[in-house]
Structure 1
């Protein structure tokens, strides 16, 4: 039976079960992403992957479609239907795998697979550390919400501006995005109990997975810039 009890108001055993399922689904999403990405890299022609980056307007269109599809996937992941929840999570994993295609391809060719592995390990380590801080600290991280929202709008504006006018955002933008993604993970983790019902662990895992992938994108971008 699916319940609508907020995690904060649930019994301790229900809270523990919610967190276990949420982080299990985050781990499974990461593994699914790796598998889907590997398949796409093999079956999608290189010309198509390079074309995603070749024209800035095409990439802008891709990001716009990705954002709209992400909204739909998030809505599905919070559905009352368990099958629809998994459809939303699976769809979002596929979206991330597609959007990462050019970056992973370029990283493999010009920086090497070891750089991808190093970036992935650092991302996982940072996620684990941030999660530990969120669970063990007694601080209220609600103040991060406005910072994240404002930072998100500023970063989106810079990304769109960079694509439209052709300027490079540079290393410090990637550093700023790593900080923003880290703050988002900290805020999301600290607010899990207040934002989701005990039956919504699939939707919760999608949000955390999305932030992890954002963190990974910019950590990998930083690692690649160091090789140039």
Structure 2
């Protein structure tokens, strides 16, 4: 962790600069994700994409590797070295592009590219609304932390159980995950000033980007289920 002053203890100018850089990096991460995903869809063989989700134990392995690599990327993004911070963020964007590859492929082939655009617009609108609530409300959202942790473990357990035993979690699970992702964004946004120093905007942007992608995943899943 860097030794800079916390955002909460910084001047108004430094706070504004931190928030500006954080959200700029979130936007750049999303654009990078779109670019990498587009490239992967073009260069990765179709049979390999199908194999990623056709074999549930292979998908379970992918999720496990993704989880471990995410922890590493987060650690890098909070390094004292700016180069390592950016490497961590770039690495995480690549991870998200890989993990999203089967879902995006299914959406394009079976539901049409329009559903991806709709999911993206809904995700952006929800993120903007939640962020506005976090910045304008004077409420303390720290109570969400335990809810998010417990909900995260429960959802992960259900996902693993679904893969092992081969049952579909269904629409309501996706709705629950949208609520969980929304709560995570609300909590993370409200705690930005208390969790990061003024030079940790790369790490802060990674956390927000991760929550946005989780929200996008389940919004897209819901829209796809309504079309199929």
Q: Which runs of 5+ in 1 are unaligned?
A: none
Distance in 1, matches of 2:129 and 2:185, equals: 10
Q: Is the 8 A contact 1:7 1:193 kept in 2?
A: yes
Distance in 2, matches of 1:131 and 1:217, equals: 19
Q: Counterpart of 2:201?
A: 201
Q: Counterpart of 2:114?
A: 114
Q: Counterpart of 1:211?
A: 211
Deviation (angstroms), 1:3: 5.8
Deviation (angstroms), 1:13: 0.4
Q: Counterpart of 1:169?
A: 169
**SS of residue matched to 2:140:** coil
Q: Counterpart of 1:84?
A: 84
Distance in 1, matches of 2:46 and 2:139, equals: 48
Q: Counterpart of 2:60?
A: 60
The 1:3–1:17 alpha-carbon spacing in structure 2 relative to 1, beyond 3 Å, is farther
Q: Counterpart of 2:48?
A: 48
Q: CA RMSD in A?
A: 0.7
Q: Counterpart of 2:189?
A: 189
Distance in 2, matches of 1:224 and 1:94, equals: 24
Matched, 1:38 2:41: no
Q: Is the 8 A contact 1:3 1:198 kept in 2?
A: no
Distance in 1, matches of 2:101 and 2:25, equals: 22
The TM-score, its normalising length taken from structure 1, stands at: 0.99
Q: Is the 8 A contact 1:3 1:199 kept in 2?
A: no
Distance in 1, matches of 2:3 and 2:144, equals: 29
**How many pairs are equivalent?**
227
Q: Deviations over 1:98-136 (max 9, x none)?
A: 000000000000000000000000000000000000000
Q: How does 1:134-145 map to 2 (within 5 A)?
A: 134-145=134-145
